[in-house]
Structure 1
Amino acid sequence: MIGLKSLLKKAWPATDACKHAEQAEHLAIADSLLAEVDYQIKELESMHREQDAERRRQETGVDYSWLVSVMPKTYDIPQLERLELEELCYKVNKVECGKIIALFRDAMIREHPVNEIARIMRSCVLQVIEHRPHEESMMEWMAKRTMSLSNLRIRISPRVEPTAGSDGIEDVEMQNTQHREHRAMSVPDFSVTRLPV
């Protein structure tokens, strides 16, 4: 006999698939944001190396860069700071990813020290998350709906009384006893006239 749990797992596997797809999406977003940080760090370091080599070349007049066989050590984000940044990037939606990268690249136009790049990304992520529209909870939604419904209560009087006009005529239909042949000025005349053939 098949167990109930295995039967339910076969019947509704979509919930696990949705969770895995959402997790994979958030991981991809976090990876892309961290890859952007790593790329900017490498670009900044290579720019500093080129500037140092050019400065040495101008001071000595000789280029010894072809003798260098070992690449200089690159900057690594401290582990705790990287984990905090990963956790923060995991909260980002796919719609916000482009905004964060654009903000980060705009901030990177000015030259910054290499150790501040991760903090700049962190501030960009926080800025986008803080400006995220507020999602109302179920209690807030219910409170707002009951308030709007309570304002809509109409008090209907059981007595019906005609209103009296300024000239003493009580009924609107009784105001004009003769039939009107022309339309009011606010309504256009759409009467059809036949043209002679």
Structure 2
Amino acid sequence: MRDTYHEFRALLSAEVPPEDILVTFEPEQDAQAKSSEQKENEIGTRANPLVIGERITLNYYDLFYGNVELEMELLEVMSGEEAWNIVREANQFNEAPGEGQEYILARYFVKINEVEEEPYDLTHAQFDAVSTTGNTYDDFISVSGLEPDLRNEMYTGAEREGFTYFLVEKDDEDPLVAFKRRSDVEVWFKMRD
């Protein structure tokens, strides 16, 4: 042990470490290329968002709910006059879209396979719309009376179908929606065909 101590002390005090203990790191370009190729091929990413009818299972740890496993599928998307008519009929006090804007209504299926700390709160705030140019639509909007509404408290085994809503620019050709954006489990959905 004493010999090891002296060798280690000599190593630390040396101005230039001995060549036989130096390890050089040379990043593999192939590994980097494979990594970016994998990201492009992964489903549910911003580069490869899910479309209507594709179901994904998410397993993650949540600070409030513990271990969570849920299934999610985008079932339907409506926009323009069709969406505005549904929003208006849901509640007369829902605001009309501004100049150059339109509502997008997205109907999702969610099933809670496991939640450690019940109930799991499914809310509209877990979904963010992001424009084609990469800017988030961060105006706060509230739409009342939509049926079925996606928002719910859910226990293990519960299933829910319902609408969530977004206000986007009419000329935004390819807006996306992210569930739990900026987390390890974020998943992206395409809002237009």
TM range (shorter): under 0.3
Bigger fraction of residues in strand = 2
TM score, norm. by length of structure 1: 0.22
TM score, norm. by length of structure 2: 0.22
Bigger fraction of residues in helix = 1
**Larger radius of gyration between Structure 1 and Structure 2:** 1
